[in-house]
Structure 1
Amino acid sequence: MVTKTMTTEEFINKTVGLPWVNRACSFDSVDCWGLVILYYEYVLGVKLADIHGYRDKQCTIETEAIPESKRNWRPCNKLDNAVFIAYSYGAPCHVGVVVGNYALHAKGNEQIGGQVQYNRLDALERTYQKMEYYEYINLLS
């Protein structure tokens, strides 16, 4: 565990609108997984396990990062601080954090960019074919 340094509200205010940049994980720019990493560290005081090859672009979030990261997570209902995995065309394509009835997520791609958004969770559930929810195993102990 690391020291919590922000409330959820402070984190949301600091990150909404940040630009989406592939594999970024800072308060200058983030991708969807980078936002999850920052949220868990600064709001929950949890340093998430690294996903081998993710930051140096040696793996993709869809085919390698999500399956590898699931080893540290277990399925749950829509809980505060849970991570969602969104599916499109049967494949995982996006992640973010559940905050009440909202989703905090960095949506974008390399062609058009994007930014951190704070949207109603039910709106995202209508956007994607399927959404799964996971809680971090190390938060349970």
Structure 2
Amino acid sequence: MNKNDFIRKVNRLPWADRACSFEAVDCWGLIVLYFRHVTGIEIHQTPDYEAGRDFITCYDGDRVFWVPGNRSEGCIAVFYRGEHPDHVGVVIDGNRCLHSRGRGEGVRIDPLPVLERAFTKTEFLKYGDI
């Protein structure tokens, strides 16, 4: 599936905690689907995600599989509140992010500068497949 077909399929899907399907998806589930269907990569996931652990625990367990990236298509944007990662999305071009925002909002595309203003810090990563 190419990027544009994927975006059409997931845009406006509802958010659901720990969901990773074409019916509903949370922010990390959207990353998993993007890599699976657009790049053909099955990214590593720790058991914490399926076990319903909090986002920070899941992120900390999976962070070792990602390397520093930049604001380019296919990298992920990790948004922080204070010192803690709080949300993720996939960069779909140099200035927009596809993400699943949370309860009541779901999947949408926002300009990266808008998201960066809503959070205290943004980090860009690419999958390292180690």
Q: Same fold (TM over 0.5)?
A: yes
For residues 1-141 of structure 1, the aligned pairs below 5 Å read 6-57=1-52, 59-62=53-56, 64-100=57-93, 101-109=95-103, 113-138=104-129
Q: Which 4+ runs in 1 deviate beyond 6 A?
A: none
Cα distance in 1 for residues equivalent to 2:28 and 2:10: 13
CA distance in 2, matches of 1:66, 1:53: 9
The worse-fitting range, judged by mean Cα deviation, of 13-22 and 46-55 is: 46-55
2: CA distance, partners of 1:115 / 1:131:
20
| TM-score calculated relative to the size of structure 1 | 0.87
Task: Please tell me the root mean square deviation across aligned C-alpha atoms, in Å.
Answer: 1.3
Alpha-carbon distance, 1:126 to partner:
1.2
Measured in 1, the distance between the counterparts of 2:84 and 2:48 equals 20
SS of the residue 1:124 aligns to: helix
Q: What is the aligned-residue identity percentage?
A: 36
Unaligned runs of 5+ in 1: 1-5
Q: Quote the Cα distance in structure 2 between the aligned partners of 1:53 and 1:129.
A: 25
Report the 3-state secondary structure (helix = DSSP H, G, I; strand = E; otherwise coil) of the residue aligned with 2:28: helix
TM-score (norm 2): 0.94
Stretches of structure 2 that go unaligned for 5 or more consecutive residues are: none
